[in-house]
């Protein structure tokens, strides 16, 4: 049997297929929660931290840790909360809180496979620069990851995101000794590369894949039609042929207005420097980087320079 302490995030975990013996709804002090469940035997307690008075005060969690079996507690944390920052998570980990997430999928994952310290030790960095739980996506935030995530999104049809991810992964691993996880959403193209740590998943399972990601330097995500605000940064690929640009404009006439503050990469470009300047002026968008057609069997200085510009490697 499980118990729930809920407030503003009740909808995030509604209709969980678990047995529930008791539910508290509202705003409570640690003492009120402890006294309520003092004589309860429960398998797991899911606490929506918006139900905690002074939820951003570490002493709240210290008090709970004294009166509750913390190894049975799962904290549901809003991604914008100060509690989602690495410096706060480090303090929670020090007190024995190993099970925390920002979404329903994460709760389900932790119900089935609770974390140990080894699972969260990479977040336990006292004094490190604040990082956060994976950002919220229209109320469906993803699981815990302290690893930098970079998204890739084709703006024009088949602009080369999958191949570019493969080449970046290969470059970083083989020539810089880094560990890279590549994930594609709602497609199966990665299977054809026959490479380790290139995962094909679905929109519904992306959170679980991120929850499982450990000991990687970077995660590269081929977003396809998935939302673009789940990553630390996202690159938008345009293949500037007349056919593809005309199809793009027919599909969405305001596309370049939406891309004005984005990192745009002209991929597989045969444009001259003057052509690029003219395209940028006509579209009204800055161009972050230009990549010519690349041979995916050879190292490329242009690709290396892109990684430097992205600050994934140093010169």
Percent of the chain with pLDDT strictly greater than 90? 61
* b/e map 167-199, b = 16+ CB within 10 Å: bbbbbbbeeeeeebbbbbbbeebbeebeeebbb
Whether the predicted pLDDT of 61 surpasses 60: yes
Q: Selecting from 3.30.460.80, 3.40.50.2300, 1.10.3470.10, 3.40.630.10, what CATH number does the domain 2-123 have?
A: 3.40.50.2300
What is the predicted pLDDT for the residue at 131?
Answer: 41
pLDDT for the residue numbered 125: 53
Lowest mean pLDDT, pick from 43-57, 120-134, 147-161: 120-134
Instruction: Average the pLDDT over each of 101-105, 130-134, 146-150, 267-271 and give the range with the smallest value.
Output: 130-134
Confidence of residue 244 (pLDDT cuts 50, 70, 90): very high
In the chain, what are the domain boundaries? Answer: 2-123, 148-309
Check: CB of residue 73 under 8 Å from CB of residue 30.
no
pLDDT at 130: 37
Mind giving me the DSSP string for 13-35?
GTT-SS-EEEEEES-B-HHHHHH
Q: Quick one: how far is CA 123 from the chain centroid?
A: 15
Assess whether pLDDT exceeds 50 at residue 16: yes
Asked whether the CA dihedral 11, 17, 23, 28 is positive or negative, the reply is negative
The reported pLDDT for the residue numbered 286 is: 95
Beta bridge partners of residue 204, listed in sequence order? none
What pLDDT is attached to residue 146?
56
- Work out the pLDDT band at 140, boundaries 50, 70, 90: very low
Given phi > 0 = left and psi -120 to 50 = alpha, else beta, which region is 288? alpha
CA distance 101 to 107: 7
Number of other residues whose CB lies within 10 A of the CB of residue 203: 15
What is the rounded CA–CA span in Å between residue 69 and residue 118?
A: 19
SS3 119: helix
Whether 148-309 and 2-123 are alike in CATH topology: the answer is yes
Which CATH fold topology does 148-309 show? Rossmann fold (3.40.50)
Would you say residue 279 has pLDDT above 90?
yes
Look at residue 195 and tell me whether its pLDDT is greater than 50: yes
Pairing type for strands 198-201 and 263-266 reads unpaired
Q: Which of 130-139, 196-205, 219-228, 288-297 has the lowest mean pLDDT?
A: 130-139
Residue pair 219/172 in contact (Cβ under 8 Å)? The answer is no
Instruction: Calculate the average pLDDT of the chain.
Output: 87
229 within 8 A of 137, measured Cβ to Cβ: yes
Q: pLDDT value at position 231?
A: 82
Q: pTM, whole model, 2 decimals? A: 0.59
pLDDT-based confidence at residue 89 (cuts at 50, 70, 90):
confident
Q: What was the pLDDT predicted at 137? A: 37
Of 150, 221, 143, 145, residue with least CA distance to 184: 221
Taking 90 as the threshold, does the pLDDT of residue 190 lie above it? yes
């Amino acid at each position: 049997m499980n118990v729930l302490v809920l407030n503003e995030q009740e909808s995030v975990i509604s209709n969980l297929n678990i047995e529930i013996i008791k539910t508290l709804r509202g705003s409570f002090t640690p003492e009120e929660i402890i006294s309520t469940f003092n004589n309860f035997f429960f398998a797991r307690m899911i606490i929506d931290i918006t139900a905690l008075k002074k939820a951003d005060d570490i002493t709240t969690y210290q008090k709970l840790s004294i009166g509750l079996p913390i190894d049975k507690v799962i904290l549901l944390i809003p991604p914008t909360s100060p509690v989602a920052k690495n410096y706060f998570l480090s303090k929670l980990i020090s007190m024995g809180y190993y099970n925390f997430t920002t979404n329903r999928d994460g709760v389900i994952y932790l119900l089935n496979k609770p974390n140990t310290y080894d699972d969260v030790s990479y977040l336990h960095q006292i004094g490190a620069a604040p990082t956060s739980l994976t950002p919220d996506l229209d109320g469906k935030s993803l699981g815990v990851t302290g690893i930098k995530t970079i998204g890739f999104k084709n703006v024009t049809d088949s602009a080369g995101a999958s191949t570019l991810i493969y080449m970046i992964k290969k470059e970083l691993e083989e020539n810089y000794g880094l560990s890279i996880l590549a994930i594609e959403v709602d497609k199966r193209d990665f299977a054809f590369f026959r490479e380790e740590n290139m995962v094909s998943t679905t929109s519904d399972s992306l959170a679980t894949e991120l929850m499982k990601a450990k000991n990687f330097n970077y995660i590269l995500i081929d977003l396809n039609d998935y939302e673009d605000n789940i990553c630390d940064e996202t690159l938008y690929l345009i293949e500037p042929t007349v056919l593809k640009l005309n199809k793009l404009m027919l599909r969405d006439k305001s596309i370049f207005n939406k891309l004005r503050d984005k990192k745009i990469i002209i991929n597989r470009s045969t444009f001259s420097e003057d052509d690029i300047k003219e395209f940028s002026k006509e579209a009204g968008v800055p161009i972050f980087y230009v990549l010519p057609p690349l041979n995916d069997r050879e190292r490329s200085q242009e690709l290396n320079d892109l990684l430097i510009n992205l600050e994934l490697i140093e010169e």
